[in-house]
């Protein structure tokens, strides 16, 4: 199922979308009550799931998705997003070609960094250009994993039992800040640099090890086209590795890295400008559409 957050008369509401994503139904109208999406992730029971699935088999009238005042599915993540760097071999090579000092060193272990999120940008929302502090704004389409059950010292073969679902994350990056500071936190964490959406697809919709296409388009032009089967370090590895010393709490977001084709990978680089549109598309999830704004 597709779970999402939207506003109705100024109040945040939780909803479920139809299979085609065109119609949304309020969870409160189905008889379910949660404080927000983080609360739902913590408390969503098998009985709740059965209630929603039964409703979707014979739904009542809903609201068109395109008319909603959309929020990111998790507008305010409980913690910083955990991101993977250079987790596709082709992207690793293009990053090294852009800045060997910042990206080109040989790394035989997974690279983790955190991305601060004040408020996640929703599908259809604006990404601020921050032109006063960056001239090299870039996009990164990524599959994001949502932890549903606390994970601590989890064997890799049990990792997927702890996944609640998946969504799309655009890891917006200011490359000049990222390379200038020789670390990635600041260049990844400016306000509005974390579009997430359009919804969370529950793990039963994408069972097992995901092998799904990841694409991005800028102004309608295909820029990235990869597959999660090409991860250097897969989801099970990362949940296992992280959980050896960190408790991954329900609602934790792990963003799995981006395929080749980002702006800095072109010669000359092709960074984003005000007015550009960015569409991140992941098979089995949908499309996250945003525009660069002043």
Residue 238 has a pLDDT of 99
Q: Assess whether 180 and 263 both reside in one domain.
A: yes
Distance CA 29, CA 256 (A): 34
Residue 64 CA neighbour count, 13 Å, CB half: 2
Contacts of 191 (CB under 8 A, 6+ apart): 118, 119, 128, 130
Give the β-pairing of 81-85 and 253-255: parallel
What 3-state class would DSSP assign to 55?
Answer: helix
Residue 98 has a pLDDT of 57
Residue among 1, 40, 36, 35 nearest 17 (CA):
1
Q: Assess whether 174 and 280 both reside in one domain.
A: yes
Six token digits for residue 193: 């640099």
Q: Which of 11, 42, 70 is the last residue of a domain?
A: 70
Q: Assess whether 94 and 174 both reside in one domain.
A: yes
Residue 104 has a pLDDT of 54
Strand partners, 167: 144
Question: Is 111 domain-assigned?
Answer: yes
Distance CA 3, CA 279 (A): 20
Query: 92 falls in which pLDDT band (50, 70, 90)?
Result: confident
The count of domains in the chain is: 2
Q: Assess whether 150 and 260 both reside in one domain.
A: yes
Q: Assess whether 150 and 44 both reside in one domain.
A: no
At residue 230's C-alpha, the angle toward residues 228 and 232, to 5°, is 110
At residue 172's C-alpha, the angle toward residues 143 and 3, to 5°, is 40
pLDDT greater than 60 at residue 196: yes
Give the mean model confidence (pLDDT) for residues 275-284. Answer: 99
Q: Assess whether 55 and 93 both reside in one domain.
A: no
Q: Assess whether 49 and 160 both reside in one domain.
A: no
Q: Which of 70, 95, 123 is the last residue of a domain?
A: 70
Contacts of 182 (CB under 8 A, 6+ apart): 101, 102
Question: Is 241 domain-assigned?
Answer: yes
Q: Is residue 253 within 8 Å of 169, Cβ to Cβ?
A: yes
Question: Is 87 domain-assigned?
Answer: yes
Distance CA 12, CA 21 (A): 19
pLDDT greater than 80 at residue 150: yes
pLDDT greater than 90 at residue 267: yes
- Give tens-digit pLDDT for 96-113: 655 656 565 566 799 999
Q: Which of 29, 44, 70 is the last residue of a domain?
A: 70
Q: Assess whether 49 and 148 both reside in one domain.
A: no
Q: Assess whether 13 and 112 both reside in one domain.
A: no
Question: Is 76 domain-assigned?
Answer: no
Question: Is 107 domain-assigned?
Answer: yes
Distance CA 83, CA 80 (A): 9
Q: Is residue 216 within 8 Å of 223, Cβ to Cβ?
A: yes
Q: Assess whether 47 and 168 both reside in one domain.
A: no
Question: Is 75 domain-assigned?
Answer: no
pLDDT greater than 60 at residue 164: yes
Name the residue range of residue 286's domain.
Answer: 81-293
Distance CA 269, CA 9 (A): 43
Quote the pTM value: 0.95
pLDDT greater than 90 at residue 90: no
Q: Give the CATH number of the domain where residue 102 resides.
A: 3.90.850.10
Residue 99 has a pLDDT of 60
Residue 216 has a pLDDT of 99
Q: Assess whether 145 and 119 both reside in one domain.
A: yes
Residue 183 has a pLDDT of 83
Residue 95 has a pLDDT of 73
Q: Assess whether 59 and 132 both reside in one domain.
A: no
Question: Is 165 domain-assigned?
Answer: yes
Q: Is residue 89 within 8 Å of 226, Cβ to Cβ?
A: no
């Amino acid at each position: 199922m597709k779970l999402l957050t939207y506003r109705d008369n100024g109040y945040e509401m939780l909803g479920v979308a139809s299979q085609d994503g065109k119609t949304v139904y309020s969870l409160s109208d189905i008889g379910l009550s949660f404080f927000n999406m983080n609360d739902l992730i913590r408390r969503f029971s098998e009985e709740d799931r059965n209630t929603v699935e039964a409703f979707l088999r014979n739904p009542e009238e809903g609201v068109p998705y395109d008319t909603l005042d959309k929020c990111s599915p998790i507008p305010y993540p409980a913690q910083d997003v955990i991101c993977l760097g250079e987790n596709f071999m082709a992207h690793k090579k293009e990053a090294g070609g852009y800045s060997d000092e910042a990206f080109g060193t040989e790394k035989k272990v997974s690279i983790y960094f955190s991305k601060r999120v004040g408020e996640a940008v929703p599908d259809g929302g604006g990404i601020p250009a921050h032109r006063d502090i960056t001239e090299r704004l870039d996009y990164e389409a990524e599959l994001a994993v949502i932890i549903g059950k606390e994970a601590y010292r989890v064997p890799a073969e049990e990792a997927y039992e702890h996944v609640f679902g998946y969504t799309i994350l655009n890891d917006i990056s200011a490359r000049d800040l990222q390379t200038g500071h020789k670390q990635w936190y600041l260049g990844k964490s400016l306000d509005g640099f974390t579009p997430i959406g359009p919804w969370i697809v529950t793990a039963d919709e994408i069972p097992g090890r995901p092998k799904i296409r990841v694409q991005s388009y800028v102004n309608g032009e295909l820029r990235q086209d990869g597959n999660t089967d090409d991860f250097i370090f897969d989801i099970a590895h990362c949940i296992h590795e992280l959980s050896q010393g960190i408790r991954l709490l329900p609602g934790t977001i792990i963003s799995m890295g981006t395929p080749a084709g980002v702006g800095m990978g072109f010669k000359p680089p092709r960074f984003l400008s005000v007015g550009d549109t960015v569409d991140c598309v992941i098979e089995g999830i949908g499309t996250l559409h945003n525009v660069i704004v002043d």
